[in-house]
Amino acid sequence: METAKKENRTKIKAVLTEEGAIVEVSEQVNSLKNSGYGTDKNGKLILKPYETLFLVDRKVIEVFDKKDKELDFQDLLQFFKSFDENVWLRYLIYRDLRKRGYVVREGFGFGIDFRVYERGEYGKNPAKYVVFGIVEGRPVQIGKLASTLEKVQSLKKKLILAVVSRRGEIVYYSLSQLALHEVKENAEV
């Protein structure tokens, strides 16, 4: 019965851009905005690529190019990949966190992919967690990770590593301490 209800609901129309998708603000779009999707800019809602992919997959929006051709999920993914090689990683993490009931917003620099709000806290309190996405098997510079941890802790937030396996499964690790020690060349370990 719920599936029939979703199919009868009018999909929101969006126009594709390099930054994601743009939607004219309306009552229906305001509910998206209040749920933590997009950024309001000059009376339009700007959706990030991972938000666009998520909402297309959930059949909430339909995205059209400038020639008014509707684009499916695969078309959008290929388009966004040409601008961001990590869009698939971000989408997988975003989708997983959203399905778990969290409000997920874009990170604020220094390698952070997302800010994550506790359930029911979006719009009331700042994000408690920040998420750093990592692909299993792809090296990460330890110095970058240490620097990110230091900056995150200075903001009084918790750093979560989201490790995405080759099969698309995600495991989350909380990172609270990282110490780098110099090892002398002939020292016994």
Same domain assignment for residues 77 and 107: no
Domain end (from 52, 81, 110): 81
Domain end (from 51, 81, 111): 81
What is the reported pLDDT for 7?
A: 47
Task: Return the closest-CA partner of residue 44 out of 21, 10, 63.
Answer: 21
What is the reported pLDDT for 101?
A: 92
Mean pLDDT (the chain) is: 86
Which structural domain range is residue 167 located in? 99-175
For residue 9, tell me if it sits in a domain: yes
Can you say whether the dihedral through the CA atoms of 42, 102, 157, 135 is positive or negative?
negative
Same domain assignment for residues 72 and 132: no
Counted domains in the chain? 2
What is the reported pLDDT for 16?
A: 95
Q: What is the pLDDT of residues 101-141, one digit of tens each?
A: 999 999 877 667 899 998 888 989 999 999 999 999 888 88
Task: Return the closest-CA partner of residue 15 out of 80, 66, 58.
Answer: 66
Token readout for 110 is 């220094």
For residue 37, tell me if it sits in a domain: yes
What is the reported pLDDT for 178?
A: 64
Task: Return the closest-CA partner of residue 39 out of 27, 26, 23, 57.
Answer: 23
For residue 182, tell me if it sits in a domain: no
For residue 93, tell me if it sits in a domain: no
- What secondary structure does DSSP assign to 46-80, as a single string? EEPHHHHHHHHHTTSEEEE-TTS-EE-HHHHHHHH
Please indicate, yes or no, whether the overall pTM of this predicted structure exceeds 0.75.
yes
Task: Tell me the CATH number at 165.
Answer: 3.40.1350.150
For residue 161, tell me if it sits in a domain: yes
Task: Return the closest-CA partner of residue 107 out of 138, 133, 86.
Answer: 133
Task: Return the closest-CA partner of residue 132 out of 150, 57, 83, 34.
Answer: 150
Same domain assignment for residues 72 and 115: no
Low-confidence ranges of the chain (pLDDT < 70): 1-9, 110-111, 178-189
What is the reported pLDDT for 167?
A: 92
Same domain assignment for residues 77 and 103: no
